[in-house]
Chain A
Amino acid sequence: MTPFTLERPESLGAARRAFSGDAAFLAGGHTLIPAMKSGLRAVETLIDLSRVPGLESIRREGDRLIVGAMARHAEVAASPVVAAAIPGLARLAAGIGDPQVRRRGTIGGSLANNDPAADYPAAVLALDAVLATTEGTHAADDFFQGMFATALGDGEILTEVQFRVPEAFAYAKFRHPASRYALAGVAVARFPEGVRVAVTGVAYSVFRWADAEAALSAAPPAPVPPLVRDDINSDIHASAEYRAHLAGVMLARAVREMMP
């Protein structure tokens, strides 16, 4: 690992100011540390967010479920507030990685990283969340900007995720058996005005599946046509054709889970 200096600021302002030059924030470290160990990333300054107060709070505010950026996957999975507001989100968190990963990894780290096969981005997009940062807010529809790319600027800290509480929500993923990331993961959220569907693991970034949204929002719901896109990922784990098929199967599983 390339040497760096670790800062451990105790306020959001101090964390924001500590960012200069070649720097990065450290949350749970379960993406960043492996990347630095393998030489994929190197920084001069690492800013540990774990001592910044208030970033792990989980609470309900009106029609929003607020999850702090430093909330660990295990905390979201076990939170009674999450279970009462959006139980499918607690189940999603419980299915990330393994127990040790869930004790360290955070929702903020997962979203800032925007791995094309990560789980949380699908939920954030389907649940029409707002992402609050030190600089303002981003709508989920504008936040994810491609493989490992987001709307976050240099030194901008994600502080909390404001999920819109839906009528129903479910997430189904076909896990890669070794990494447990999604080979295909589909999140479905039903709101009074219609259904939102987001897909992860299938293309180079999470995306909304417009045909599925239209079909499921129709009254009565119409059959969902097969997923067709020209950017479906094909690799040693799964061909594009297989991933597209899996997306349809995961959609059906998620919809079944949402049935009363």
Chain B
Amino acid sequence: MGISVNGSVREVTSPDHRLLVDWLRDDLGLTGTHVGCTTSQCGACNVMVDGEVVKACTVLVASCEGSEVTTIEGLGTPEALHPMQAAFKSAHGLQCGFCTPGMVMAGIAIANAHGPDVSEATVRHELEGNLCRCTGYQNIVAAIRAGARAMAEAGLLKEPA
């Protein structure tokens, strides 16, 4: 059956106890998804599974057979960034960049759930599963709000269910 990763189907040949994050990074070489804590706290490993942002260090790859997975590599290209990535760049939403792939993923989930006019308080509340050791969050929050507006302008927001 395999797993569709950023649009192409990949077979899973690793043992059943393999974590999704290890499969992505070590077997597929998609090292944009980071491992910050390994203890389900930091969100650096956030990826999208069937459209939902989850912590890939706390999901078994074997449980994802038949699913669609999107990683940071699948969002945009260096020449054509995803609007949320572009917003992190222009709002200085990163310093060392370690937490950024997970923050961008969380940002997209927030934009999809709360729309272009999401409040600062909502963004902060929704970021509780993402830790950043550098920025103090101020510019991350600004980037996500700007990214949500840019996603709406680009017609990329999911229709509310």
B146 at the interface (CB under 8 A from A): no
Among the listed stretches A27-35, A158-166, A193-201, A208-216, which one makes contact with chain B, having 4 or more residues with CB under 8 Å of it?
Answer: A27-35
B interface size (C-beta, 8 A): 27
Residue B38 at the A interface, CB < 8 A?
yes
Distance to closest chain B CB from A8 (angstroms): 8
- Interface stretch among B53-61, B73-81, B82-90, B151-159? B53-61
| CB neighbours of A50 from chain B (8 A) | 63
Residues of A in contact (CB 8 Å), total: 27
Interface check B29, CB cutoff 8 A: no
Given A34-B40, A100-B43: A46 and B129 within 8 A (CB)?
Answer: no
The answer to whether residues A6 and B40 also contact, given A100-B55, A103-B52 and a CB cut-off of 8 A, is: no
Instruction: Write the nearest CB–CB distance from B118 to chain A, whole angstroms.
Output: 13
**Which of B15, B52, B58, B128 has the largest count of A CB atoms less than 10 A from its CB?**
B58
CA distance A50 to B67 in the complex (A): 13
A104 at the interface (CB under 8 A from B): yes
A36 shortest CB reach to chain B, Å: 8
Are B59 and A46 in contact, CB atoms less than 8 angstroms apart?
A: no
Are A99 and B128 in contact, CB atoms less than 8 angstroms apart?
yes
What's the minimum C-beta distance from A58 to chain B, rounded to whole angstroms?
Answer: 15
Chain A residue numbers with a CB within 8 Å of B26 are: none
Q: Which B18-51 residues have C-beta < 8 A from chain A?
A: 19, 38-41, 43, 46
B43 to chain A, nearest CB (A): 6
How far apart are B84's CB and chain A's nearest CB, in angstroms? 16
Residue B103 interfacial (CB < 8 Å): no
A37-B38, A103-B53, A104-B54 in contact; A6/B128 too (CB < 8 A)? Answer: no
Given A1-B17, A4-B16, A6-B16; A100-B60 close (CB under 8 Å): no
User: Which of A46, A99, A101, A103 is close to B40, meaning CB atoms less than 8 Å apart?
Assistant: A101
Are A98 and B129 interface neighbours, CB within 8 A?
yes
Q: Please count the residue pairs between chain A and chain B whose beta carbons lie under 8 angstroms apart in the complex.
A: 76
Query: A30 and B63: CB pair below 8 A?
Result: no
Determine if A6 and B63 form an interchain contact, defined as CB atoms under 8 angstroms apart: yes
Q: Is the CB of B109 within 8 A of A6?
A: no
Please report which residues of chain A, range 1-42, place their CB below 8 angstroms from some CB of chain B when the two chains form the complex.
Answer: 1-6, 8, 26, 29-30, 33-34, 36-38
Q: How far is the CB of A90 from chain B (nearest CB, A)?
A: 16
Q: Could you write out 30 A-B pairs with CB less than 8 Å apart?
A: A3-B16, A3-B17, A6-B17, A6-B62, A8-B62, A8-B63, A29-B59, A30-B40, A33-B19, A33-B40, A33-B60, A37-B57, A46-B16, A46-B60, A48-B63, A50-B63, A98-B128, A98-B129, A98-B130, A99-B53, A99-B106, A99-B128, A99-B129, A100-B53, A100-B54, A100-B106, A101-B55, A103-B53, A104-B54, A180-B128
Spell out A's residues near B (CB within 8 Å). Answer: 1-6, 8, 26, 29-30, 33-34, 36-38, 46, 48, 50, 97-101, 103-104, 178, 180
